[in-house]
Amino acid sequence: MKFICVILLILTGVTQSDEYEVIGPSAPVMTVSGEDVILPCSIKPNISAVNMRVEWIRLDLKGSIVHRYEDHKDINTDQLQSYRGRTQVFKEELEKGNTSLKLSRVQISDEGLYKCFIQSQSWSDDITVDLRVEAVGRPLVITVDGFDGSGGLRLQCESKGWNPEPDLVWLNSEGVTLTSESPDTHRDDTDGFSVKHKITVYNTDTKYHCRVRMNHHMMETEIITSSKMFHSWRSSVILISVAVVLSVIAGILITRFVRKQRDLQREEQRIQNEREPLLMTVKNVTSLLRKHAVNVTLDADSAHPRLIVSHDGKQVRCENKQLERVKNEDTGQNYTFDSRFCVAGNEGFSSGCFYYEVQVKGVDCWRVGVTRESAQRKGLFSMEHQDGYWTVCLSGHRYYAGEKHVVLSLSVNPERIGVFVDYEKGRVSFYDVESMYHIHSFTAQSFTKKLYPLLFLESSVPLIICRDLS
Ligand SMILES: *[C@@H]1O[C@H](CO)[C@@H](O)[C@H](O)[C@H]1NC(C)=O
Ligand SMILES: *[C@@H]1O[C@H](CO)[C@@H](O)[C@H](O)[C@H]1NC(C)=O
Ligand SMILES: *[C@@H]1O[C@H](CO)[C@@H](O)[C@H](O)[C@H]1NC(C)=O
């Protein structure tokens, strides 16, 4: 009897220690394309999974293997090709019953249902993890799609690479939504959603906006149609000038002028061939902006004591040692920055448009923009637009507009930043000069005082005001 009891105890002991529950997140796991993500999965109670089989499987892809751990090692011979080299279980965590999967460099095609299946000698259980991948699409491309029979101009707006599906709308200059003629949405497993809408417009000298929204991301670009008479004895010329663009809300914005321009040029060629008397010109954004270039020099007296301005006022770098600039502080000059590492330009502007470029190459902490005359310069002030600072910055490998509330997502690191101000329109725009990506704009500001160029840096590599803008 005693013997049987002992056997029973052992048996119950064994079964009990071997029964477990697999647990995971109740809500979908959200991530962003390009990032790494951990799909949580663990055993409760937290017994070791080192001797168990752990399988991560794509339920929505006929149970294909994403990752397998068995006999104390990863066995990925029959793993789905697209997951090669991107999956990992945490060996040291397995002991604690943590069988989470790390998936690196997430792609849109990774979105789906993942089963975490755990098997021991005598027991098995699983849970399903729902992975959602968000991807912000590529810049909008507006194409002029020819003329219709009644003299209307057909415009097409397209953007690719979104997930989930975004909303695309055309708006007129008053912000009224226009009805698209042939909305076209297309999904590709690897590239996500691409959207394309066409409209026909009859008005010249007006702006049309194309806007794409997905969750809290928005991209916008605009086209200006204008008609002018050239060679009046012969032809009427339609001038499409693709002007300043794009605005970012809560994040992300870039546009690819180069591509748009190429499309427009191709179109120009086609239309020219089709209709002899019509000719189309595309104005180059760079030359539009540089038309307003001004000769910026830095005001050494305004500079923080750790900033060293070159004799010609075209460069500034940051030194560890404080300069002897007691003189300024003693006379209490209000315009010297004493706390934030800033320097302002010598000359301020209070009308029209102005533009300057700064080389930021190799500088890992910088801020570029404009400041209002009499904005606070002493102490640790804020550099938001409501405080009289309109800037973009690089800090900790991330780009921001203003202080760090608006994160900008750039696909390349700009080497040169273009700053454009339209005083009357209340606009400050920033461009990556090389690609003419529009980085960010502050719009609908109201300027009442002079605006001065402003630089900030924490680096011994200098920021350089560019001279070659003609
Ligand atoms: C398991 O969890 C308990 C309580 O949550 C904790 O005290 C214990 O250290 C864990 N065991 C391991 C192996 O992580
Ligand atoms: C499992 O391990 C990963 C990687 O160390 C960790 O991020 C995660 O929080 C762990 N999960 C649990 C439930 O301990
Ligand atoms: C820019 O301004 C500085 C100082 O006023 C002057 O010395 C320089 O010649 C100017 N450069 C150009 C290109 O006008």
Residue whose token pair is 């004895």? 233
Backbone angles phi, psi at 309, to 5 degrees: -100, 135
Single-letter amino acid code for the residue at 37: V
The CB of 194 under 6 Å from ligand 2? The reply is no
pLDDT given at position 273: 42
Q: Residues for the chain: how many in total?
A: 470
Measured from CB, residues less than 6 Å from any atom of ligand 1 are 46, 96
Q: How far is the CA of 419 from the centre of ligand 3 (A)?
A: 19
pLDDT given at position 288: 75
Q: In the CATH hierarchy, which fold is given to the domain comprising 300-465?
A: Jelly Rolls (2.60.120)
The CB of 42 under 6 Å from ligand 2? The reply is yes
The CB of 38 under 6 Å from ligand 2? The reply is yes
pLDDT given at position 65: 95
Q: How far is the CA of 303 from the centre of ligand 3 (A)?
A: 20
Q: How far is the CA of 90 from the centre of ligand 2 (A)?
A: 8
pLDDT given at position 290: 85
Contact of 317 with 360, CB cutoff 8 Å: no
Q: How far is the CA of 14 from the centre of ligand 1 (A)?
A: 20
The CB of 99 under 6 Å from ligand 2? The reply is no
The CB of 93 under 6 Å from ligand 2? The reply is yes
Single-letter amino acid code for the residue at 426: G
Q: How far is the CA of 29 from the centre of ligand 2 (A)?
A: 14
Strand 101-103's sheet: what is its strand order? 37-39, 101-103, 87-89
- Distance spanning both ends of the chain, measured CA to CA: 102
- Same topology for domains 20-133 and 141-226, yes or no? yes
Cβ burial 291-308 (10 Å sphere, 16+ → b, else e): eebbebbbbbebbbbbbb
Q: What is the CA radius of gyration of the chain?
A: 30
Residues 6+ apart with CB under 8 A from 73: none
Q: How far is the CA of 117 from the centre of ligand 1 (A)?
A: 21
Contact of 356 with 296, CB cutoff 8 Å: yes
Ligand 3 atom with least separation from CA of 467 = 13
**Any idea where the domains of the chain sit in the sequence?**
20-133, 141-226, 300-465
CATH architecture of the region 141-226: Sandwich (2.60)
Of the bound ligands, which one is closest to the alpha carbon of residue 45?
1
The protein residue with its alpha carbon nearest to ligand 2, atom 10, reads 98
275 Rama sector, left if φ>0, alpha if ψ -120 to 50, beta otherwise:
beta
The protein residue with its alpha carbon nearest to ligand 3, atom 2, reads 295
Q: What is the pLDDT along the chain (470 residues), one digit of tens a residue?
A: 444 444 444 444 444 457 899 999 999 999 989 899 999 999 999 899 999 999 999 998 888 999 999 999 999 889 999 999 999 999 999 999 999 999 999 999 999 999 999 999 889 999 999 999 999 898 888 888 777 777 778 899 999 999 999 999 999 888 888 988 888 899 988 899 999 999 988 877 788 889 998 887 888 888 887 654 222 222 333 333 333 333 333 333 333 333 444 555 555 454 444 333 222 222 356 777 888 999 999 999 999 999 999 999 999 999 876 555 544 454 456 788 988 999 999 999 999 999 999 999 999 999 999 999 989 998 888 899 999 999 999 988 889 898 877 888 777 889 999 999 999 989 999 998 887 778 888 988 999 999 999 999 988 899 999 987 76
Q: How far is the CA of 295 from the centre of ligand 3 (A)?
A: 6
Single-letter amino acid code for the residue at 331: T
Q: How far is the CA of 96 from the centre of ligand 2 (A)?
A: 10
pLDDT given at position 275: 34
Residues 6+ apart with CB under 8 A from 382: 389, 403
**Pairing state of beta strands 236-241 and 280-282?**
parallel
Contact of 261 with 322, CB cutoff 8 Å: no
CATH 2.60.40.10 fits domain 20-133: yes
The protein residue with its alpha carbon nearest to ligand 1, atom 4, reads 46
The protein residue with its alpha carbon nearest to ligand 3, atom 7, reads 312
